[in-house]
Chain A
Amino acid sequence: MAFPPEHEIHKRRLGRNVGVAVTLGLFILLVFALTVVKVTRGEPMQAFDHSVRPEMAEPEEGQ
């Protein structure tokens, strides 16, 4: 026996699935927006990985 297609439980499940999908979509958009802001503001994009990289060194006084 199948559920009637318009059963209330289907509506609730659909609402839950749509809610999760919209939330995930908004989260992706937010992470993208944060990335754009951080990259365009020139924040450091290289992390310390135990190798010498002169471009990451702080300039000394008077230079």
Chain B
Amino acid sequence: MAPVDRGLFPTGRMDKVMSDIRAYEQPGEAGFGDYVQLLKPRVMSLVVFTALVGLLVAPVGVHPVIAFASILFVALGAGASGALNMWWDADIDAVMRRTKGRPVPAGKVTAGEALAVGLGLSGIAVVMLGLAANWLSAGLLAFTIFFYAVVYSMWLKRSTPQNIVIGGAAGAFPPMIGWACATGTVSIESVLMFALIFMWTPPHFWALALFMKDDYSNAGVPMLTVTHGRRSTRNHILVYTILLAPVAVGAAFTSIGGPIYLAAAVALNAWFLVGAWRIWKRHEDAAEADNYAVEKSVFRFSLYYLFLHFGAFLAEAALKPYGMGGW
């Protein structure tokens, strides 16, 4: 029996409509979780932690509701910059093994949606942080988003092997923003917390780049391992770890430091230096033979390194009311 033409869908068009529906049924429609993934929740957890520490160790008390809202909006701003990064980097994310499952290259969210989410949340986060805390912290957050999305993602990442060094500043701002939320100022303590993350980022990422070598070269990202070679990368890791140590230990002698932090910083930096030394003295053949065991262990340790430093700041602040924290 011939299909009945009811006017709404002429016979020829019906097939097209059905194919459209079938296309719509494909796993392309994003769920709520896919939009959450755009915000890079794992990066956000580090941002929340460091910003919270910056806020809590400040010498000015903050009302709990204002503190909660401030940290939330800092995290939202960080998430927004992550979405902008995913919009811009969708092409190279699709090539790299580590990132090809992200919502845009996986086809769950369109690049345009990622841009809209990033811009919308950036505006909300900055304005709300200004209203909740103060406009210095909001300005710092706006600059951080700009730095990560424009300076790092759009400009440095694809143009210089020093991308990680300068781009690391974006990840270093959250404790400074947290401090500014509480005090309304920038001071030596917040600058040192910034410097700690800033100096930590290059050895952390270059250790990762040593054992994720195919990813970055396939994507054409000028990582130091690709442009200057792996020997040079090992040298850089050692130099930056040496430069990091005085920054980390020096923070012990400011108002946010104390004996607990000093002990933690000395131990952690000694450990990190030993790791960087082991990476430096290794040859590529030995590294390939044991599947980059040392590089992987130093990378894992570098994560604990940062968490424990900020944990020690927090311990000093938490013990102060009992007459134990600080000098």
Contacts and interface: CB of A to CB of B under 8 A. Distances in A.
Nearest to B63: A37
Contacts of A34: 65-66, 69, 131-132
A36 B30 CA distance: 36
B63 A41 contact: yes
A28 interface: no
Interface in B1-38: 18, 21, 24-25, 29-33, 35
Interface string B194-215: 0000000000000000000000
Contacts of A18: 32
B25 A37 contact: no
A33 interface: yes
B72 interface: yes
A50 interface: no
A30 B72 contact: yes
Contact of A19 (B21, B32, B131): B32
Contacts of B66: 34, 37
Contact of B65 (A12, A15, A19, A33): A33
A13 B30 CA distance: 8
A20 interface: yes
Nearest to A11: B31
- The majority secondary structure among interface residues of chain A is helix
A15 B32 contact: yes
Contacts of A13: 29
Interface residues of A, number: 16
Chain B interface bracket (under 10, 10 to 19, 20 to 34, 35 or more):
10 to 19
Given A12-B30, A15-B32, 17 more contacts: A1-B18, A1-B21, A7-B25, A9-B25, A9-B29, A12-B31, A13-B29, A15-B31, A16-B30, A16-B32, A19-B35, A30-B69, A33-B65, A34-B66, A34-B131, A37-B66, A41-B63
A37 B30 contact: no
Interface in A5-26: 7, 9, 12-13, 15-16, 18-20
Interface string B21-59: 100110001111101000000000000000000000000
A16 B69 CA distance: 24
Contacts of B35: 16, 19
Which of A1, A7, A19, A34 has the most C-beta atoms of chain B within 10 angstroms of its own C-beta?
A: A34
A9 B25 CA distance: 7
A57 B254 CA distance: 38
List of 5 A-B pairs having minimum Cβ-Cβ separation, nearest first: A19-B32, A12-B31, A16-B32, A37-B65, A33-B65
Contacts of B21: 1
A55 B69 CA distance: 30
A15 B11 CA distance: 35
18 contacts: A1-B21, A7-B25, A9-B25, A12-B29, A12-B30, A12-B31, A15-B33, A16-B31, A19-B35, A30-B69, A33-B69, A34-B66, A34-B69, A34-B131, A34-B132, A37-B63, A37-B65, A41-B63
Nearest to A16: B32
Interface in A31-63: 33-34, 36-37, 41
Nearest to A30: B69
Interface in B81-100: none
